[in-house]
Amino acid sequence: MFNGIIFNQGLITKFEKRSKGTNIFVKADLKLSGKDLGVSVACDGVCLTLIDIKNKIMEFYLSDETIQRSKFKFLKINDKINLELPLRFGQKISGHICQGHIDAVAKIQSIKKIDKSYLFDFELIKKERANLIDKASICINGISLTISKVTKKGFQVWVIPHTFKLTNLSSLKKSSLVNIEIDILSKYVRNYFNEKK
């Protein structure tokens, strides 16, 4: 489990295609060693298992399903991704509960700098738009953010300078794709009422 507060980014150094899936190599300054193999790491919001680490380069396995469901199929060498280590029992949750299970990929429609903050406008597939709620939490590339407005084609979020600087949102532009995990409470509540019908 994660909380969407990002302090680290990683650089993709290599992809290795397997018979099923792909191994991805990410260089980052995380406090991990060979003793931590098997730990979960949120990589741009996707929960991946650390299978090897050498000289600060972490290796993860991407299943074909993960590749198809996320934006990982579009990533390239030298792209930066947001990283978060899993929460420990009793640790403070500063964002919201994130599982690392991606619901969809969204496209940036526009980025506007207003004063010192940034207004991002995203387009989301119709199937997932039904789960959006004004002022609910949403995880974008692993970042805990708040939906400021649900729009006809998707939603908007405000990003403060601190978050913009510490994450890969600063490298994105119009038409860039992002991983989306909709708030688990929003999904469960909607599913509950759908079953009541």
- Min mean pLDDT across 31-35, 81-85, 113-117 is at 31-35
Give residue 100's region: left, alpha or beta (phi > 0; psi -120 to 50): left
Residue 147: give its domain's CATH number. 2.40.30.20
Write out the two tokens for 6: 């990002």
Total residue count of the chain as it appears in this document: 197
Q: What is the spatial distance between Cα 36 and Cα 155, in angstroms, rounded to a whole number? A: 37
* DSSP-derived 3-state class of residue 180: strand
Higher per-residue pLDDT: 131 or 177 = 177
- Res 121: pLDDT: 99
Predicted confidence (pLDDT) at residue 196 exceeds the cutoff of 70 = no
Q: What is the spatial distance between Cα 5 and Cα 167, in angstroms, rounded to a whole number? A: 10
**Phi/psi at 46 (nearest 5 deg)?**
-95, 125
Domain span at residue 66 reads: 8-84
Q: What is the spatial distance between Cα 76 and Cα 130, in angstroms, rounded to a whole number? A: 31
Residue 145 falls within a domain, yes or no? yes
pLDDT band at 93; cut points 50, 70, 90: confident
Residue 53 falls within a domain, yes or no? yes
The number of folded domains in the chain is 2
Residue 93 falls within a domain, yes or no? no
Q: Give the model confidence (pLDDT) of 147-184 as tens digits.
A: 999 999 999 999 999 999 999 999 999 999 999 999 98
pLDDT band at 188; cut points 50, 70, 90: confident
Residue 1 falls within a domain, yes or no? no
Same domain for 118 and 174, yes or no, is: yes
Strands (E), the chain: 8-17, 22-27, 40-43, 46-54, 57-62, 80-84, 104-114, 117-123, 137-140, 143-150, 154-159, 177-182
Same domain for 51 and 126, yes or no, is: no
* DSSP-derived 3-state class of residue 15: strand
User: What is the chain's mean pLDDT, rounded?
Assistant: 94
Write out the two tokens for 13: 């150094």
Specify the pTM.
Answer: 0.93
Same domain for 142 and 176, yes or no, is: yes
- Res 164: pLDDT: 98
Is the separation of the CB atoms in 27 and 10 below 8 Å? yes
Evaluated on CA atoms 121, 126, 128, 133, the torsion sign reads positive
Same domain for 118 and 185, yes or no, is: yes
- Res 197: pLDDT: 63
